[in-house]
Structure 1
Amino acid sequence: MRLFAVSTLLLSFFSSGLALQIQCYQCEEMTHDCSTPEFIVNCTVNMQNMCQKEVLVKENGILYRKSCASSGACLIASSGYQQFCTGKLNSVCITCCNTPLCNGPRQKRRPQPSSAITLNTLQLPVFSLHTLLLLSSSLC
């Protein structure tokens, strides 16, 4: 019975997509940074696991494209455009990241806590899963 309960909890945890879904900003060739709540989207579970940000320097100003992406596609695109990321006219810079809303504005750097244990959002589901498995093994 306990094994059934643990199995049900694990199945609902993974089928809900909580552990594998990321949120990113999404916009197409905007003249502003489009990092506001109306541009937040839920990426496709198990398919799009990264956020992508493109910054294009054109004659009429800087344009932004932001979207969800698969890790393979994003990393290939960013490495392919590396030579064009100069910051000058006709520059194209593509960056990839894998934390929620990481393709938004740059965050101000905060000092790292020296001795505190911190869990980022990607570690938390894994930590929860390990805790659940430990609890279930102690119940058997």
Structure 2
Amino acid sequence: MRLLTVSSLLLSFFSSGLALQIQCYQCEEMMHDCSTAEFIVNCTVNVQDMCQKEVLVKDDGIHYRKSCASSGACLIASSGYQQFCTGKLNSVCITCCNTPLCNGPRQKKRPQSSAAITLNPLQLPMFSVNIFLLMSSILC
């Protein structure tokens, strides 16, 4: 019984997104936003933990570069190019994010997803009781 409970807990943790791999869009010098399924890649586990997006304004239009990145490298690059992010000709903007496919197009504000767990104050005591019962069954 304990093995089943522990296995279920581990499965729910890993299926809830706690695995350390992220998916990002990846393309090099594209004239379009390259945010379609063919450009989705799996980033290197435990190394590339962020998505990076570069927007370059050139003579012939806007160019995009998207990729997986390590948090350190991405944050250093984005802060180093911040002064060049003007939106004008020869502008370079680099942004970093850490949720799946976050280097795609900007999402419009939408209602909260039903997949997210939100507890209102009335549900919190029952949630605590369930966690307590689950933990006590594991420890006994």
Shorter chain as normaliser: what TM range?
A: 0.7 to 0.9
RMSD: 3.2
Partner of 2:94 in structure 1? 94
Contact 2:2 2:137 in 1 (8 A): no
Runs (5+) with no aligned partner, structure 2: 119-129
- Tell me which of 97, 115, 118 is aligned to 2:116: 118
Report 1:50-61 matches (<5 A). 50-61=50-61
Identical residues among aligned pairs (%): 82
- Give the C-alpha shift of residue 60 in structure 1: 1.2
Distance 2:97 2:77 in 1: 13
How many pairs are equivalent?
125
Structure 1 length as normaliser, TM-score?
0.74
Report 1:1-140 matches (<5 A). 2=2, 6=6, 10=10, 19-111=19-111, 118-119=116-117, 135=134, 137-139=136-138, 140=140
What do residues 11-69 of structure 1 show as CA deviations (whole Å, max 9, x unaligned)? Answer: 9x76xx96111100000000000000000000111111110000000111110000001
Distance 1:32 1:98 in 2: 22
* Rg larger for: 2
What do residues 76-124 of structure 1 show as CA deviations (whole Å, max 9, x unaligned)? Answer: 10000000000011100000001100000010112559xx89349xxxx
Distance 2:71 2:107 in 1: 22
